[in-house]
Amino acid sequence: MNDPDVDTLIMAAAERQLAVAALQKKYDQSKSVPTEQLVADMRELLATERVVLDAIITLFVKIGYSEAVAPPPESS
């Protein structure tokens, strides 16, 4: 399927996965994390989550709209 919305979702999901992996690595290597840094990291992670959710919602709306507009199947 070659759809820009699907491409956006795939890219957003990949970026979120990379962000999670980077944070896991960062926190595995540190014994103590300042609260301010933890809050900043969680905000960034939430921002990537919002992008993924926005892409998912866009796809569902698009799919729902196309199903609502599609003509009913012809019966024989």
- Closest CA relative to residue 55, chosen from 1, 15, 10, 24: 10
At residue 76, the pLDDT reads 58
Residues of the chain whose pLDDT is less than 70? Answer: 1-2, 70-73, 75-76
At residue 42, the pLDDT reads 92
At residue 59, the pLDDT reads 87
At residue 65, the pLDDT reads 75
At residue 33, the pLDDT reads 84
Instruction: Give dist(CA 10, CA 53) in Å, integer.
Output: 11
Domain definitions of the chain by residue range:
4-69
At residue 46, the pLDDT reads 92
At residue 75, the pLDDT reads 66
- Closest CA relative to residue 16, chosen from 38, 46, 36, 41: 46
Query: Residues with Cβ < 8 Å from 52, sequence gap 6 or more?
Result: 9, 12, 13, 16
